[in-house]
Amino acid sequence: MGKSYSTERGLVHAVVGVDLRVPAGQFVAIVGRSGSGKSSLMAMIGGLSRPTRGVVRVSGAEIWKMPDSRLAEFRSREMGFVFQFPSLLPTLRIIDNVALPALLNSRKEEAAAYEKAAELLTELELADYVDAYPHEISAGEQRRVAIARALINSPSLLIADEPTSDLDEQTEIEIIDRLYRLNRDRGVTLIMVTHNLALAQRADRILHIANGGLVA
Ligand X SMILES: Nc1ncnc2c1ncn2[C@@H]1O[C@H](COP(=O)(O)OP(=O)(O)OP(=O)(O)O)[C@@H](O)[C@H]1O
Q: Which of 1, 14, 99, 121 binds ligand X (CB under 6 A)?
A: 14
Q: Which of 2, 28, 31, 37 binds ligand X (CB under 6 A)?
A: 37
Contact between 36 and ligand X by CB under 6 A: the answer reads: yes
Beta-sheet strands, E only, within the chain: 3-7, 10-15, 27-31, 57-58, 61-62, 79-82, 157-161, 189-193, 205-210, 213-215
Q: How far is the CB of 20 from ligand X (least distance, A)?
A: 15
Size of the site for ligand X (CB under 6 A): 12
Give the other-Cβ count within 10 Å of 122's Cβ: 13
Is 57 within 8 Å of 19 (Cβ atoms)?
Answer: no
| Candidate segments 28-36, 74-82, 96-104, 199-207, binder of ligand X by CB under 6 A | 28-36
Cα–Cα dist 148/118, whole Å? 9
Contact between 142 and ligand X by CB under 6 A: the answer reads: no
| Candidate segments 33-41, 99-107, 120-128, 173-181, binder of ligand X by CB under 6 A | 33-41
Give the other-Cβ count within 10 Å of 182's Cβ: 20
Q: How far is the CB of 182 from ligand X (least distance, A)?
A: 23
Q: How far is the CB of 18 from ligand X (least distance, A)?
A: 11
Nearer to ligand X, 26 or 52 (CB): 52
Nearer to ligand X, 32 or 86 (CB): 32
Nearer to ligand X, 40 or 164 (CB): 40
Sign of CA dihedral 72, 78, 82, 83: negative
**What are phi and psi for residue 14, nearest 5 degrees?**
-80, -40
Contact between 12 and ligand X by CB under 6 A: the answer reads: yes
Q: How far is the CB of 183 from ligand X (least distance, A)?
A: 22
Q: How far is the CB of 14 from ligand X (least distance, A)?
A: 3
* Residue 204 zone, left/alpha/beta (φ > 0; ψ -120 to 50; rest): alpha
C-alpha distances in Å from residue 203, one per residue of 102, 126, 158? 28, 25, 13
